[in-house]
Structure 1
């Protein structure tokens, strides 16, 4: 692995409501997590507790919300989330709504009332908070790819995160990640180019580390979502049981 690849932050998707899973992922070498309120069993209260298992200065304490809900997003940010991932953004209007929910005035409409004290340092708390929090639009449909310039051109959007499985489904393909050719692979390269043109960071979910390393070079990833906790458990459990039965 090159020095460039080694420096790309890796985030684990966490779908189980467990502070221990978050701590274990960071201890294992992950740079951050995506606490997933869209898929899995993590509710809002659990997500707010899980954020407290992450050191306050970690820039990759991300939470993916189920929808653009001002109340839920505000609570996650007040509990220490440093990035909000909004799923299936397909229009500039949706992107503006995410910015409004994640940024303090004058850029957005986030309410000031942190429950985790001293989240943001500096003379201007609101400006510091806006700089510290990443507003992440997730593009995971053909419609989102087509509207990429309008979405990424919205003031306050900091990053685009690609969901390849849903993107594949929108193209009439099987819902899986790690595409090396075809419309999904082409869309990833296109979105990476548009992200650079608009000055926002670019992330991609991958399931295979070797594929992710290749995408760092091909598409220029700034960070990578790499694996899901429940899938890790299932994979290791199957291998363990198969090894036992094979040895008996």
Structure 2
């Protein structure tokens, strides 16, 4: 399955670490296709995340949340508030992937409880079947252990996508914790996961801090979508650039 943005191109999502409705709205207005509300890193708590998800249009296909664990309780709250995808970090086994599916899909596929706080979030004759189609269950692979067990993760029934955490994966290999790798084991892992994803009919995404690097991966059809940048990092860089210009230290 190929995911497409509003412009017919692969989607780009902003990682949002600042608990702000304005940032969510700004990202969509700037041309991003959605956001990843990040409860794993940054300052976003569950209550703020649920409110932020409501800042996105009801039918926004890429209003995602990254959780800190496989605890089904916050996952349920986020989905009921409008999250169209749940990214779970550090998935390292098929059993963990199965637990993620259980938390994100309604019975028939998973074990999600029915009780939406945004009524008519999913359109169709069967609300639960529509919800299972429209919510993306995404396992983040970011360790050597996860990479080793990638095939059993990818083939988990009900799993929709794999998301690569390149910096943590690099650290797991004993490399510096940076994200955009042109060669070496992280790049080899990207190629390997791309092949597995194509073989088993799931999509593949990755985080990148560089538009040029992400565009190259998309052009090579190695990934289907990207998480492009973090709001907090963008703000930090802009502030540093402005003060350097003011002080004449560029």
TM above 0.5: yes
Corresponding position of 2:91 = 89
Does the 8 Å CA contact 1:73/1:101 hold for their aligned counterparts? yes
1:201-220 mapped onto 2 (5 Å cutoff): 201-220=203-222
SS of the residue corresponding to residue 114 of structure 2 reads coil
How far apart, CA to CA, are the structure 2 residues paired with 1:77 and 1:150? 25
Q: CA deviation at 1:155?
A: 0.4
1:1-248 mapped onto 2 (5 Å cutoff): 7-246=9-248
SS of the residue corresponding to residue 32 of structure 2 reads coil
Does the 8 Å CA contact 2:155/2:200 hold for their aligned counterparts? yes
How far apart, CA to CA, are the structure 1 residues paired with 2:220 and 2:71? 35
Could you report, residue by residue, the CA deviation over 1:64-117 in whole angstroms, capped at 9, with x for unpaired residues?
000011110000000000000000000000000000000000110000000111
C-alpha RMSD of matched pairs (Å):
1.7
- Stretches of structure 2 lacking an aligned partner (at least 5 in a row): none
Misfit runs of 4+, over 3 Å = 3-6
- Stretches of structure 1 lacking an aligned partner (at least 5 in a row): none
SS of the residue corresponding to residue 12 of structure 1 reads strand
TM-score normalized by structure 1? 0.96
How far apart, CA to CA, are the structure 2 residues paired with 1:90 and 1:60? 24
Q: CA deviation at 1:198?
A: 0.9
Q: How many residues align?
A: 246
How far apart, CA to CA, are the structure 1 residues paired with 2:193 and 2:61? 22
